[in-house]
Amino acid sequence: MSRPGLQGNDRLVEVEAGYEAVSQDAYYQALYSDRINDKVGVRLVARYSDLNGYFKVRSVPSNGDPLITPAPFSRWPGGEEFFARATVLVEPNEALRIRPRRPGKGQNRRRFSGRRR
């Protein structure tokens, strides 16, 4: 049974852009993946998005009431977002595959699910 890895021509380049007309959100992303040699491969991914908000937020005036806090924004979600990730895959032989990982924000730091990924 063949498994994905460092076989054949593994170079992959993808560039994508998108625009949401209703919320006027734009995103751009790119991916580059290639072998460094027969046993080591690398993948680089980056994404940028500019969110103008899909939902309009309406606040009531506080009229001096300290329990009412108006929202500090008029549309949600909003703002700019950028992330990038690099992955290295090492396969010294057919029986061993090494993919070092460092958990980031929002990732489960313990991956003992019993499933192979």
> Does the pLDDT at position 115 exceed 50?
no
The more confidently predicted of residues 55 and 87 is 87
Candidates 37, 110, 45, 50; CA nearest to 80 is 50
Residue-wise pLDDT tens digits, 10-38: 789 999 999 988 778 899 999 999 998 88
Q: Is 97 helix (H, G, I), strand (E, B) or coil?
A: strand
Q: To the nearest whole number, what is the mean pLDDT of the chain?
A: 77
Task: Please count the other Cβ atoms lying within 10 Å of the Cβ belonging to residue 91.
Answer: 18
Whether 112 contacts 103, CB under 8 Å: no
Instruction: Return the structure tokens found at 79.
Output: 């703002």
Residue-wise pLDDT tens digits, 38-64: 888 899 999 999 888 777 777 777 787
The more confidently predicted of residues 114 and 49 is 49
Q: What is the spatial distance between Cα 55 and Cα 23, in angstroms, rounded to a whole number?
A: 8
Length of the chain: 117
pLDDT band at residue 71, thresholds of 50, 70 and 90?
Answer: confident
CB-based contacts of 105: which residues, under 8 Å, 6+ apart?
none
Domain assignments of the chain as residue spans, ordered by start: 12-98
